[in-house]
Amino acid sequence: MYATSADWSFDRKPDFPDLDNFIANLKAAGAINWHYVMTSETTARTMIVWPDKETAHKALSMVRDDAEATTAQKITSTCEGEIVAGF
């Protein structure tokens, strides 16, 4: 499995105007799970688990660019890699 993560910043807590559609699109793109974690009043982190790197990279534009455009957030950093342990 493969994981991608992005740190986001914003001026006000984001509104997710079309969250159900976004989640459906993530699932259709192959995401196994997705988490949106508020890390402060003006920052958050998203974490997505994918079956493999190829699937993740096919969907990253939708996940990052589209979400950024529709929720008034900016990505401040990203990371990704193979999942080697967990439960």
Query: 9 pLDDT band (50/70/90 cuts)?
Result: very high
pTM score of the predicted model: 0.88
pLDDT at residue 79, as a whole number: 96
Residue 66 pLDDT > 80, yes or no? Answer: no
Q: Is the pLDDT of residue 2 over 90?
A: yes
Q: Report which of 76, 71, 65, 51 is spatially closest to residue 1, judged by C-alpha positions.
A: 51
pLDDT of residue 68 exceeding 80 = no
Domains identified in the chain and CATH numbers: 2-82 (3.30.70.380)
The reported pLDDT for the residue numbered 51 is 98
Three-state secondary structure call for residue 69: helix
Chain segment 16-62, per-residue pLDDT in tens: 778 898 899 999 999 999 999 999 999 999 999 999 999 999 998 87
